[in-house]
Amino acid sequence: MSKRKYADEVIGEVGVEKEMDGEEVEDEDLNEEGDRPQKPPPSFGGLLSRFAFSGSSSSQAPTIPLAIASRPTPPERPPPTGNPAELSLPPTKPKKKRSKHTGYAPPSAYAHLSPLPDTLEENLICIFIGINPGLTTARIGHSFANPTNLFWPLMHSSGCTPDRRLPPQMDGRLPELYSLGQTNIVKRPTKDAAELSKEELLAGVEVLEEKMRMYKPEAVCFVGKVVWDAVFRARNGRGIRKGEFDWGWQEGVMFGGMEEGEGEGRWGGCRVFVVPSTSGLVAAYGPEFKRDLWKRLGDWVQMRRRERGESAPKGLERGENGVGELVMV
């Protein structure tokens, strides 16, 4: 049999099989005119592929659909209610309220509190000058009495009171025991320095100079840059400019000197040392910086004690406990 005749017979058999299987032609197989397109006859290789073994219809294995692994679909959430803009915002923590500076407070605000008395004597080694008494200090009646204030710990670690950390209740014995003193540029108590006016601070400078001329200490230590700012402004008529200040000794500056008088009656003033405020609210300077700065002053104070032939503390007696312990009286 020729190849052409064999192909014609196969085409006829394929047409019969399609009719027996009930195969239909979909509309998309039609051309634009509604007629079936004329397909080219299959090739010889394509005809042979139709005779590949597929088993009988009775023994053919059933087709099992393959399950495709996928993530389970989460249940749908109910639609949000309310304002969509508010619901879309993530939860936020409530902001902490910051304490605001109270600003100036008139003297009548704390008129029920008594001013703090000075602790001064003539010819002291150093007088410590604070800004003004705080409320706790005013209520207790002793210098730097707030438990968070670092004045008394720094006095001890620096060597100004080398034997012990004094309690605030012993502030009145500083001149007697250590040749030291204490006062403030403003007498009246307030919650903080922000409640004072600039006029009060400037007026306090003149009062301080009069006290220094009276008691003539060797040095003063301004506890708080606010005090030195007021002194500088009173002298120069302006504030401190950048590069004009550094902590510690203010070289070339003498405070409270007498402009009049000659010879032995003339006093040239005292040296000036400046440290940050020792208030617990001041956290701009670390503990190590404060200790090192105060140690510079304490070393000088102890040197002057040796040169003056003094001890610290100066008043010691044997205690009454019978074991020979030294106690201050």
What SS3 string covers the chain?
Answer: CCHHHHHHHHHHHHHHHHHHHCCCCCHHHCCCCCCCCCCCCCCHHHHHHCCCCCCCCCCCCCCCCCCCCCCCCCCCCCCCCCCHHHHCCCCCCCCCCCCCCCCCCCHHHHCCCCCCCCECCCCCCEEEEECCCCHHHHHHCCCCCCCCCCHHHHHHHHCCCCCCCCCHHHHHHHHHHHCEEEEECCCCCCCCHHHCCHHHHHHHHHHHHHHHHHHCCCEEEEECHHHHHHHHHHHHCCCCCCCCCCCEEEEEEEECCCCCCCHHHCCCCEEEEEECCCCCCCCCCCHHHHHHHHHHHHHHHHHHHHHHCCCCCCCEEECCCCCCCEEEC
Tell me, what's the pLDDT at 33? 37
Spell out the per-residue pLDDT of the chain, length 329, in tens: 554 444 444 444 444 333 333 333 333 333 333 444 445 555 555 555 555 555 444 445 444 444 444 455 555 655 555 555 544 555 566 665 555 556 999 999 999 999 999 999 999 999 999 999 999 999 999 999 999 999 999 999 999 999 999 999 999 999 999 999 999 999 999 999 999 999 999 999 999 999 999 999 999 999 999 999 999 999 999 999 999 999 999 999 999 987 655 556 678 999 999 999 999 888 899 999 999 999 999 999 999 999 999 999 986 544 544 444 445 54
Dist CA 156 CA 139 (whole Å): 24
Tell me, what's the pLDDT at 295? 98
Residue matched to tokens 């009173």: 234
Tell me, what's the pLDDT at 303? 98
Contact (CB, 8 A) for 278 and 151: yes
Name beta bridge partners: 327.
317
pTM, two decimals, is 0.67
Single-letter residue type at 301 = V
Alpha-carbon separation of residue 245 from 80, 228, 275, 278, 290 (angstroms): 62, 10, 12, 19, 17
Domain boundaries, the chain: 126-258+267-308
Dist CA 235 CA 222 (whole Å): 16
Tell me, what's the pLDDT at 318? 44
| 118 C-beta neighbours (distance < 10 Å), count | 16
Tell me, what's the pLDDT at 266? 79
Tell me, what's the pLDDT at 24? 36
> CATH for 126-258+267-308?
3.40.470.10
C-alpha of 33 from chain center = 84
C-alpha of 46 from chain center = 83
